[in-house]
Amino acid sequence: MPKIKSCAFNHDTAYVDLIFDSGGVISIYTVEVENQIETGMAGRSKRDWLIFNEPLTYAQLVLSGEMQDFLDGYSKSYHRTESNIRKDLEKHLIHEQARDIAREFMMYD
């Protein structure tokens, strides 16, 4: 199995390009992946973060067919954490304030 020589997201083409030491190339069109994956705001945010910050992880999830499951799991965890934070804050604040603070906190995950 050839080793990956480089992996990067090309902002101009919207492709994640993998270059192997054998000279082979795989290009993943991120727009097409977006069209095939059903996810909410938290999942989209994580997917975009992976593209820009960890394109190799993104590529591995796409090529293995595990992207949907990964984003579903991430979204569930995200919403569970936000809910737990909101519930803790509601002990001291009114519901609307607790909800807004929990959402703001989660933006910096």
d(CA 69, CA 80): 16
pLDDT of residue 68: 96
SS3 state of residue 17: strand
pLDDT of residue 18: 94
Of the pLDDT bands very low, low, confident and very high (cuts 50, 70, 90), residue 99 is confident
Average pLDDT along the chain: 91
pLDDT of residue 4: 85
Which distant-in-sequence residues (6+ apart) come within 8 Å of 98 by Cβ? 86, 87, 89, 90
Is 65 a residue whose pLDDT tops 70? yes
Who wins on pLDDT, 106 or 9? 9
Query: Residue ranges of the domains in the chain?
Result: 4-106
CA distances from 23 to 2, 5, 11, 48, 58 (A): 9, 9, 22, 27, 21
pLDDT of residue 24: 92
Query: Is residue 32 a contact partner of residue 63, using CB atoms and an 8 Å limit?
Result: no
**HSE (CB half, 13 Å, CA atoms) of 65?**
0
Q: What percentage of the chain exceeds 90 in pLDDT?
A: 66
